[in-house]
Chains A and B, each alone.
Chain A
Amino acid sequence: MMRRETQLVGLAVVGAATLVAALVFGNLILSLPLGLGVGALTLQALAAQRTRANDADRDETLLLLQAATPKLRAGVPIDAAFLMAAEEAPTSVAKIVRRYCQRSGYVPPGSAEVMAREAGPLTQAIIAMIRSCRENGGDVATPFVNLAEMIETDQKLRRRQDTATLHVRAQANGLTVIAALVVLSIIFGSGSSVDYFRETADGRLVMLGSLTAMVWGYVILSALNARIGHA
């Protein structure tokens, strides 16, 4: 389910793009598909940004676990081990975990969950596991060692996916650059050829149709590109 703010941003972009296109090309109904395409591209860009944040969260979690596990193996108590690891690997994930461990003795009910929600899913996992280790005891080193190994495996897989899809992404970006150059030359260029698109109603409609096709083409290419990386 999409977040409410994201939905509002998407709707605002669709409305603004449709309005601008209607003013430029003089046809509100035919401008709507272009506006929807621009809205879809904006949402894809926001989604890509959040995906990058999740990837950063995963990398930082791995750093923290790599620093914490030797201490846990050596028998350091769980909160102390994560406090020491947070000093060694001072990332934003470490900051949240440190805050959680510092308050281990007097965490009011529910505040741990609030704290964990400030960070990504993996930080939430670490906090849930620290809590369960505190409550249940037992072997506290092995689960974190396992989790670190598994995140490492996941990271390697992601790197392989990135390398494998490099040429596809370059192809999509290259085509977009060519299309953008053509459109910019029409908007800002001069001469009889560009006058056709700017001055005549038919020319404006042809340009609107072409722009819509290219925007939706890029939406589909971006979607396919994102889906390859997250099978």
Chain B
Amino acid sequence: MPKRPSITTLLSLEPPPLSPDILAAIFSSACASGLTAEQAIGVMAEVADIMDPQLAYEIHDTHRRLSLSTNRDKTYARLIETRESDLIVRLLTMLRTAEKSGEEIIVRSRKLFEAMSQERENRVAQRVETYPLIMVVVVVLFFLPALVILLAAPVYISVLEILRSF
């Protein structure tokens, strides 16, 4: 079940963490430098520490569990089931498939980054279409009544006073 966003996230009271696809980019780049998948996850965890502590915790924990694993496939399956972050789930799924089929991890991790960027672009496009409509509703509910009251209340009171004077 997806986690409900906190009030600080909903109201944008703190800066949004860097998009997780940057972490995917870092993972891919670390793999391209010749690191093993686990070492690349380690680099990603170091970067995540400063970006998003909650995500960093999940990455560190995943890294630790993979390092201690004696049955990698089983560990992958369990981690994929229990992880909350979409990035980690997709990364683990990719690693599991690559390990089974023997595919090049550099190419696959780059594809993962590109797919995540594309999804973000689609999400932004969707929000650009729907959010202005929500904003109009906010304006109608919050701004217009307040402006109308501020502008019309004195006039209404004056009219009442004039009518009372007759």
CB contacts under 8 Å to B, within A149-188, are 150-151, 153-154, 157, 160-161, 164-165, 167-168, 171-172, 175, 178-179, 182-183, 186
19 additional contacts (CB under 8 A) given A125-B43, A143-B32, A175-B143: A2-B13, A2-B14, A54-B18, A116-B50, A117-B50, A124-B46, A129-B26, A129-B33, A132-B39, A157-B124, A168-B131, A171-B132, A182-B151, A206-B149, A217-B141, A217-B146, A222-B12, A225-B131, A227-B131
**Residues of chain B at interface, number, CB under 8 A:** 61
Contact for A139 among B10, B32, B49, B157, CB less than 8 A: B32
Residues of B within 8 A of A82 (CB): none
State whether the Cβ of B85 lies closer than 8 Å to any Cβ in chain A. no
Closest to B13 in A: A43
Q: Is the CB of A226 within 8 A of B12?
A: yes
Q: Is the CB of A183 within 8 A of B15?
A: no
Residues of A within 8 A of B120 (CB): 157, 231
Docked pose: A164 CA to B131 CA in angstroms: 12
CB contacts under 8 Å to B, within A194-225, are 194, 196-197, 203, 206-207, 209-211, 213-214, 216-217, 219-225
- Whether A183 touches B150, Cβ cut-off 8 Å, given contacts A51-B15, A121-B18, is yes
Q: Is the CB of B135 within 8 A of A193?
A: no
State whether the Cβ of B21 lies closer than 8 Å to any Cβ in chain A. yes
| Chain A to chain B contacts (Cβ below 8 Å), 25 pairs | A10-B13, A132-B35, A132-B43, A138-B35, A140-B33, A142-B29, A144-B29, A146-B32, A147-B29, A150-B28, A150-B29, A154-B19, A168-B131, A168-B132, A182-B151, A196-B153, A196-B157, A197-B153, A206-B153, A213-B142, A221-B138, A225-B131, A226-B16, A227-B131, A231-B123
Residues of A within 8 A of B39 (CB): 132, 136
State whether the Cβ of A102 lies closer than 8 Å to any Cβ in chain B. no
Residues of A within 8 A of B138 (CB): 217, 220-221, 224
Q: How far is the CB of A123 from chain B (nearest CB, A)?
A: 9
State whether the Cβ of B128 lies closer than 8 Å to any Cβ in chain A. yes
CB contacts under 8 Å to B, within A83-119, are 113, 116-117
Q: Is the CB of B150 within 8 A of A182?
A: yes
State whether the Cβ of A40 lies closer than 8 Å to any Cβ in chain B. yes
Residues of B within 8 A of A190 (CB): none
Residues of A within 8 A of B29 (CB): 129, 142-144, 146-147, 150
- Majority DSSP secondary structure for residues of A touching B: helix
- Whether A171 touches B135, Cβ cut-off 8 Å, given contacts A51-B15, A51-B16, is yes
Contact for B139 among A124, A146, A160, A175, CB less than 8 A: A175
Docked pose: A147 CA to B141 CA in angstroms: 45
State whether the Cβ of A230 lies closer than 8 Å to any Cβ in chain B. yes
State whether the Cβ of B102 lies closer than 8 Å to any Cβ in chain A. no
Residues of B within 8 A of A138 (CB): 33-35
Residues of B within 8 A of A194 (CB): 154
Contact for B34 among A136, A151, A183, A223, CB less than 8 A: A136
Closest to A193 in B: B154
Closest to A164 in B: B128
Mark each residue of chain B from 29 to 57: 1 if its CB lies under 8 Å from any CB of chain A, else 0.
11011110001000100110111011000
Q: How far is the CB of B125 from chain A (nearest CB, A)?
A: 8
Q: Is the CB of A196 within 8 A of B154?
A: yes
Q: Is the CB of A147 within 8 A of B25?
A: yes
Residues of B within 8 A of A210 (CB): 145-147, 149-150
Contact for A121 among B14, B32, B47, B127, CB less than 8 A: B47
Q: How far is the CB of A208 from chain B (nearest CB, A)?
A: 11
